[in-house]
Amino acid sequence: MTMQENKLENEYLTGSEQIVRANGVELWAEAFGDPDHPTVLLVMGAQAQGVQWNDGIVRRLVGGGLRVVRYDHRDTGRSSVIDFATHPYTVADMASDALAVLDAFGAARAHLVGASLGGLIAQRLAVTDAPRVLTLTSLSSQPLGTDTVAAVQRALEGGSPLPGELPPPRPEVLAALTTAFPRPEADLEEYLAVRMPLWRVLHGGVLPYDEGEYRAMERRVYERARDLMAGLNHTFAGAAGSGSTADLASVTAPTLVLHGTEDPMFPPVHAEATAAAVPGARLVMIDGMGHTLPSSLDDRLAAEILRHTSRAQP
């Protein structure tokens, strides 16, 4: 590698940060890679920050010829904290935020990769803003229109799923969720003590569990957050609903559904339902993966995304 090539590689892997102002909020965002390359927007899940997309995945996607953009949702990380009682929002508003991030980086069209709630946001955009979506990857998610909040509430109260309803999270996840949220004034060690049991459950019981990796991630989350509890508003936003599973029949973007065989939050039938609802969607199950993105899977996940995005370059 020449000195010039090495300089360019380091430049593109350093990341270019900016604050995007749109829809009455400020959104922290960061881009990696050559601006002339196709853009992939990484959309995180509920209560999760953009930096929870592993740096290893980002590097691999950039190395595969993509420009990578990740960002903090409203109510997470360095983005705006919202008074939800006076300014409620929905998944549709969060989808508008994603478009604003693309606009800020000059991306008229992009590949969308959404994890968990981010998968619903990406699906929503593939339905409502199809011309802007090159490809769709729904990762560890469920079909648009699924009311997870109601299903969880029924399960916590001892009820059974409604006829035709997708299964709720597994009992061990429900138990962990009841104790996974710290006091607003919690210090770092108290915060970590509360969060680690949830990550252990979400990781699943098949792949080796590296607690140090999850602790480092949560420490980064703690240090960046304006308000650690604000992300709970995503629960209310998701419950509001922004479409139906039937809407996915209109998706024209090539679609990949990636899911873990051991996902305890959204059991694999959620992925099967998503793939069945999108015309021509391809379902890929990742052996042993739970509802997290451990670095041990960076190679596999990046390879699947790169293989998929190569089907539809602008």
The active-site residue out of 263, 270, 298, 308 is: 263
The active-site residue out of 79, 80, 96, 116 is: 116
Question: Cα 290 to chain center, whole Å?
Answer: 14
Are the C-beta atoms of 254 and 226 separated by less than 8 Å?
no
Are the C-beta atoms of 251 and 278 separated by less than 8 Å?
yes
Known catalytic membership, residue 87: no
Angle between helices 55-63 and 3-14 (to 10 degrees): 130
Known catalytic membership, residue 263: yes
Known catalytic membership, residue 308: no
State the catalytic residues.
116, 263, 291
